[in-house]
Structure 1
Amino acid sequence: MRIYVKAEGRRYFIPVPLVFAKWGMSLVKSPFIMKNIPENERKYVEMIDFNELAKCLYILKEYKGLTLIDVKAKDGTIVEITI
């Protein structure tokens, strides 16, 4: 997975192996992370089934080059996540 960020005239490229993405998703449900999420937003995180989401990442691996997220903000910041 590749994360591209363009902000304030600078471009950033962050390669993220899918193994690390899966590992990061498993950490979200840990008590350390959950206590730092605001109470009113915690219900949204609790609704996500991270095991199923991890399975989806490995299925998406077959679609190399697929753009998952392409966001352009008013201030010119661009974020793109590609498999």
Structure 2
Amino acid sequence: MKVIIDAEKKRFTIPLPFFLLHIAGWIICRKWFWKWLNKKSKNITFPTPMLDKQTIQPLLSSLKEYKGITLVDIKDKDGNGVIVRL
């Protein structure tokens, strides 16, 4: 996955390997993460989602099949923009 940011005559490309997405999926499935997040944010309480690794794993694995698809392509009047591509 790539995140491309165009901002004021500069272009940043941030590659996100799939193993980082798998690690992020593992983290958001943990209850301690949501407890920690609720403790850090004083004004907002986030409900613990009913996610488990068996739900997230096939979803992240199927993303590899759609490599090259543009998920987000946003540009404003100034020419700044963000592109998220698998």
What range describes the TM-score normalised by the shorter chain of this pair?
0.5 to 0.7
Count of matched residue positions in the alignment of Structure 1 and Structure 2: 80
TM-score w.r.t. the length of structure 2 is 0.66
Identity of aligned residues (%): 29
> SS in structure 2 opposite 1:76?
coil
AA partner of residue 9 (structure 1): K
1:73 paired to 2:73? no
Larger Rg: 2
Partner Cα separation in structure 2 for residue 71 and residue 49 of structure 1 = 29
TM-score w.r.t. the length of structure 1 is 0.68
Question: RMSD of the TM alignment (CA)?
Answer: 2.7
User: In 2 relative to 1, CA 76–61 (structure 1 residues): closer, same or farther, beyond 3 Å?
Assistant: same
Structure 2: tracts of 5 or more residues without a match:
none
The residue aligned with 1:32 is 36
Q: How does 1:1-80 map to 2 (within 5 A)?
A: 1-28=1-28, 30=33, 31-37=35-41, 39=44, 42=46, 46-47=48-49, 49=51, 51=53, 52-80=55-83
1:25 shift after superposition: 3.4
User: In 2 relative to 1, CA 53–6 (structure 1 residues): closer, same or farther, beyond 3 Å?
Assistant: farther
